Chains A and B, each alone.
Chain A
Amino acid sequence: MSIRERLSGNEAAATAMKQINPDVVAAFPITPSTEIPQYFSTFVDNGLVDTEFVAVESEHSAMSACIGAEAAGARAMTATSANGLSLMWEMIYIASSLRLPIVLSLVNRAVSGPLNIHNDHSDAMGVRDAGWIMLFSENNQEAYDNTLMAHRIAENENVLLPIMICQDGFITSHSIENIELEEDSEVKKFVGEYHPKHYLLNDKEPIAVGPLDVQSYLFEHKAQQAEAMKAAKDVILQVSKEFEEWTGRHYGLFEEYKLDDAEIAIVCMNSTAGTTKAVIDDLRNQGVKAGLLKLRVYRPFPGEEVANALSHLKAVAVLDKADSLNAAGGALFEDVTSSMYVAKKQVPIVNYIYGIGGRDTTSKEITTVYNDLQEIVNTGKIDNPYRYLGLRREEK
């Protein structure tokens, strides 16, 4: 039986970690994820978990400690944001290449500079090709649920990759909303125990982890990582199915909101999906066939499935909450458009960079995106596919 509660996104993530009761948590505080290790350290002090809490001196050390713990055979978790993730950068690649299923709670924040502590997705986008599974969460419930599923996905022997659970800084992490929690004992049963096949503290099998990987070997090891990432897609679906059987809450690779019969649609991730749903309900009342594709699984990128889900539309807008600064559109836009091209699905698509540095994105602004899409449908013309939403510009 689920328990009705009201928690912030950070409390939701910390509560999931408490119920998972990992062997090791190593973390360094950084806004807006600070509360996660803060709450967790009180759980440790109050004896609610058996976890070894390592209060490291930097995020580089936080990830290093998690790597050491996982290689030793333990279950390790951490949390960070923005520049904390930037400082982990070197070890982020070590974690994935050593195939250690670490679980990281990433509370999305703009990577400085100029200095900004508010929400966008530039931190996550900076590590999008680092070999980590990346799940995005619209609200506190999804942050909680994704965290409960994380170990089952990452530790699967066909996967063995680290995973990060993303939620929007402040917008989700500091907003208190209703949530359904599961019983501790049920979580324990679902997550299960971690028994790695090979680990450093096994005295029956002395092993070496992370040896020099010269020209004859690194290529094949990278290809193994790529294969594991592909395999993760089915594992995510399988774990999500089992999760649904247990909790009744459904999760796929992405959520389609009124997309079936839609003519125009937005693709976005995290909390903006909530605003978009409200706008869609409004537009539907006015007879506008608007829809949404909210991506949950960003890595592995479900290109084929996304292309199929968007193929019937007359116009699509991809919303990127991080600017790739590359004169060729945001990362999500590039992923969606290249997937469509490869799948031979031709739909007019435009890109909007929005919400940078925590800039509010209102329902009014989302409505203008749907208006723009209707304009594209009516005229059949796209004057500029690379656009901004909510940016101040000089009147022309």
Chain B
Amino acid sequence: MTEINPNTPMEKMTIGGDIYEAGNAREFKTGDWRSMRPVFDVDKCKQCGLCFPVCPENAIPVGKDDLKRKDFNFDYCKGCGVCAKVCPFGAITMKEEGV
């Protein structure tokens, strides 16, 4: 699919805003939408694996080899807090952004 940006003339745009390829959400960094920031406490984390499947933005990276979660990818984390809610060990706390 051709690149579509705010300078693309209407004739070159897809109809209805359709996107004819997959996996392009990573081109749009949504981290700056965040008002609350999850803080990851690596010492409290038991690597139980409950947090990353519930992240709507796939913003909790997991190591390919050690299968352990790493710190958040703040380019995409919107600060929704679902991960903090699901964590049984208090390893994720939500802090106000910019304070």
Contact = CB atoms under 8 A, between A and B. Distances in A.
B17 interface: yes
Contact of B15 (A99, A205, A211): A99
A207 B18 contact: yes
A208 B18 contact: yes
A207 B19 contact: yes
Contacts of A224: 10, 13, 15
Interface stretch (A212-220, A327-335, A366-374): A212-220
Interface in B12-30: 13, 15-22
A221 B16 contact: yes
B63 interface: no
Given A216-B6, A220-B10, A224-B10, A97 B16 contact: yes
A117 interface: no
A198 B17 CA distance: 12
A94 to B, nearest CB: 9
Contacts of A228: 15
Contacts of A223: 10
Contacts of A237: none
A205 B13 contact: no
A21 B6 CA distance: 42
A216 B19 CA distance: 15
Contacts of A216: 5-6
Interface residues of B, number: 15
Chain A interface secondary structure, helix, strand, loop or mixed?
A: loop
Nearest to A215: B6
Contacts of B6: 216-217
Interface in A92-108: 97-99
A221 B17 contact: yes
Given A223-B10, A224-B10, A208 B19 contact: yes
A210 interface: yes
Nearest to B17: A213
A189 B22 CA distance: 36
Interface in A25-70: none
Contacts of B10: 220-221, 223-224
A217 B6 CA distance: 7
Contacts of A205: 20-21
Interface of A: 97-99, 160, 198, 205-211, 213, 216-217, 220-221, 223-224, 228
7 nearest interchain CB pairs? A216-B6, A220-B10, A206-B22, A208-B19, A98-B16, A99-B15, A213-B17
Given A220-B13, A221-B10, 17 more contacts: A99-B16, A160-B15, A198-B18, A205-B20, A207-B18, A207-B20, A207-B22, A208-B19, A208-B22, A209-B16, A216-B5, A220-B8, A220-B10, A221-B16, A221-B17, A224-B10, A228-B15
17 contacts: A98-B16, A99-B15, A99-B16, A160-B15, A206-B22, A207-B18, A207-B20, A207-B21, A208-B22, A209-B18, A216-B5, A217-B17, A220-B9, A220-B13, A221-B13, A224-B13, A228-B15
